[in-house]
Structure 1
């Protein structure tokens, strides 16, 4: 590939599994790398700086220190704490609160800015495109694939042209500007049909992301509408659509009931059993045939594994890279995978895969780092085992839903658990985040559009894999 940079140095042969298939011979690893022999350090390359990749890189670094070189390849220089992205989109938090510097949070880990678009398993080399259009590449001794996921698309006419996903900071900022701009333009329009369209927001997908966006959104638009005299008497309409029979399908029904109640109390039209049949510049046609005029369509239908997985030429299941219970790729003992990119067997449900959730990604990332270290001669390998400890759902204001250790909570107790959990889980920016929450509780919401992310900069069809998919926030 022209323009490639970064020549790999003295790659070694893969370390073989032990006869028992549980670990790797420590003497083999040490004889190859030998800290006393003056040989170079083993290099571990981690693809993706989301929940799984962040934990994997940190896990290897903690076990090896300077004795190993850990390289993290990611399109941005930050770890994005995805569960709080709806609060950025609705003006509760500033975007830097949920973006944690990777160099600061992972001292000693080398950051390579780039989007990986090629993995040569024979040459043991990773290639990427850097942010300025150049090329980069590096060899590896161990590879951890934690590329995450992108927006899940459905063959619905007009969706890729007129809807936007909800995957990262650019899309959150675009949505915030879009909603504010539409209401401000509606306030100066004399056309009632135009006002109605601009004051209608359609959220497609009542899973974790869509439910939070639809729950927090009315708090932003209500605050803005009170300051715009031209909107006096004008209804701001939020619709939440899903083909499932309830919101938060797949989660505990008690959480779903709490979320449904809060949504309806805030005036959100919850349309279960319905979805979008076609999208166009002036609105959407629902599966019922109803036409809904709107200028804002938020696509929260779900996620699919990063397209990088398809190009590897390896076995996949449900679009995810097949791995064993040690997170190793069969036939490639030097390659591990975790998070949304990996089809990890669920030991609690024989024959099933672990869900694409933050809880699994975090634990799989930690285990991948541990097992990578074991493959290089430090410590034993372990199988992935996991039991869910519960979920937390942020609903804005004083509302939340949570079930820590299967104890259902709502209202202020759930709010305390939810925010406490987030602060403990974030790898940085805790004080600043708590300060923003405190300010939001006593001050009016800031409602200005910054215009930093234009419409064409966040197309749905080219969803950036800069971050792993948006997962339900589970207690881990």
Structure 2
């Protein structure tokens, strides 16, 4: 039986491992002891749910393969170095995902610190009168709405250059803007926070409790609590610089192989595939990579290739009962609260990923 080693047990890595598990010897290398369902972490930050339920065990995710909790230190065609030992493989896939400012994602493998960060954030929100979310992408929009929904009396301000940037219709942005305003969130678009020199703050900027800043549009904003909802960075430390593009993402071909390689693949947030970096797209990539790897290991030329999502889809819950979704259909129709609640908002996909990980509730 051919061996496939997958480095990274996030959304893409788990999906790829499950696709390949039945017919190959799969080794999933992941430092974290549990899967962190960070999509639902925004509700925990708002204090509307507990953080511990977001950590799901890996113990049942593979029925034949192995989950190895260790750090990969090198990868190349032919295998992976794990904890100082070389593990040969017929195919290797890198699915190490992206980092994000705390407390939205764990820092490295520190899940205890992640839980403490979620609890500290929820406590800070509960005792503060004003909260600022810097970053108006989907993460920032959802976080601002979760906080306002859980704490209707708080003053919540959302700051960003553009509401929901990316390949989405203005109709989606307009609907979300209206709903956020109705919820009581102050939305400041066309606004970036200035640093001390008057330039837009760097993507990695952090903000101090009680800080008062001026935006590039001249508006002064202060908040007792600040959250940074921008600055995602691909985690590509294992790969040589020549495999990365100018933004630090891995350059892959149409089969999701790292360019210049035959048996080394990349999936998920780390790739340079020109599409939004979402869990849904990561899982689409994993499904195609699994087919290509199966063909390769069977001695066949790949019979499929990956095409970036033609019809952009995005579900943006605004708390557990409201939101809007752009559907992946011709014309990009926009649907509202009932559909968004059903497909994501009700529990932020926690039930779905419990099923994926075969975790008991």
Output the TM-score relative to the length of structure 2.
0.81
Distance 1:136 1:266 in 2: 54
State the 1:308 CA deviation: 1.5
The 8 Å contact of residues 210 and 223 in structure 2, kept in 1 or not, is answered as yes
Distance 2:322 2:65 in 1: 39
Gaps of 5+ in 1: 1-40, 130-134, 152-162, 185-197, 223-234, 345-352, 436-476
1:209 matches 2:139: yes
Distance 1:59 1:341 in 2: 20
Distance 1:61 1:104 in 2: 12
The residue number in structure 1 matching 2:355 is 428
Distance 1:113 1:312 in 2: 26
1:60 matches 2:20: yes
Change (3 A) 1:294 1:136: farther
Change (3 A) 1:307 1:417: closer
The 8 Å contact of residues 314 and 321 in structure 1, kept in 2 or not, is answered as yes
The residue number in structure 1 matching 2:245 is 316
State the 1:261 CA deviation: 1.8
Q: Select 2:293's aligned residue among 366, 372, 380.
A: 372
2:188 is paired with a residue whose SS is strand
The residue number in structure 2 matching 1:37 is none
Distance 1:390 1:426 in 2: 19
The residue number in structure 1 matching 2:214 is 286
1:243 matches 2:243: no
Alignment of 1:6-405 (within 5 A): 41-62=1-22, 64=23, 68-119=24-75, 121=76, 124-128=78-82, 138-151=87-100, 164-168=102-106, 170-171=113-114, 174-181=117-124, 183-184=126-127, 198-222=128-152, 236-244=154-162, 247-250=163-166, 251-278=168-195, 279-280=207-208, 282-288=210-216, 291-308=220-237, 311=240, 313-316=242-245, 318-344=247-273, 353-377=274-298, 381=302, 382-385=304-307, 386-388=309-311, 390-404=313-327, 405=329
Gaps of 5+ in 2: 196-206
Change (3 A) 1:370 1:100: farther
Change (3 A) 1:280 1:389: closer
Output the TM-score relative to the length of structure 1.
0.63
State the 1:286 CA deviation: 2.4
The 8 Å contact of residues 160 and 191 in structure 2, kept in 1 or not, is answered as yes
RMSD: 3.1
Change (3 A) 1:408 1:292: closer
Change (3 A) 1:94 1:239: same
- Tell me: higher relative CO, structure 1 or 2? Use CA pairs within 8 A at least 6 residues apart: 1
State the 1:125 CA deviation: 4.0
Change (3 A) 1:249 1:313: closer
Look at both structures and tell me which one has the larger radius of gyration over its CA atoms.
1
Distance 2:11 2:122 in 1: 29
